[in-house]
Structure 1
Amino acid sequence: MMKHLFLNICLLFSILTFSQENLHYKEGIYSVEIELANKSHLLLNQENTFQIVTKNIETVNLSAAGKNLKIKKGAEKNRSVWIVTPSNEILVDGFYQLNITFRGKKGKLFSHQFLIPVKE
């Protein structure tokens, strides 16, 4: 009984940790974080708003790519607002793929793929 409880707690903790870590990328002095409007996942077949928050990355050196993705006007220095409407056809194993690429201060190119959970 205690063994099953312990395993369930470990599984829950690892799922929560994966979801939070999956939305944050750090490489040296640079970081990119995805802030979802509802905190944990995107909603299937609905318009979702999220923010990309950066540290030590110039906005002009950042690009984001994903299916059904568009940027909202009025981006701030280290924060941009995006809109996506995920559908079953574009998901990979229940996740929305968001690709981020940016150029660092010395011209080095960085790239990362975020896998954002999608629920109905």
Structure 2
Amino acid sequence: MYERKIPLSLNCGLDLIGEVLYGKWKIRLLWFINEGFMRPSELQRKIPDASRRVLNMQLKELEEHELISRKIYPVVPPKVEYSLTEFGNTLIPVISALGQWGDDHEEHLRTVITKRLEK
């Protein structure tokens, strides 16, 4: 079983949001689920750089944090779909604002990221 090496800190809103959204693909997963990509295979196609295992782990964590819900259909083969919860929907304007900020500062961000990678 996983044991945390760094103690959990939930002292402020930034700590809380970091705990819930920490993970390379979580913000993208939330965004794509909001756009209607609900099946795990659809999400895998939208994020091909992520392994299936990591996506499944992050989907499980988003579900545990009550940002998404999972519906399993009783068919063969099993069919699973994810959707945003009402709570998860409250994050979409925040994610949209972050994306817009990234678009507005795209050139500068690309420059500083590239410069850092060249070191």
More strand by share: 1
Bigger fraction of residues in helix: 2
User: Whose RCO is larger (CA < 8 A, sep 6+)?
Assistant: 1
TM-score (norm 1): 0.27
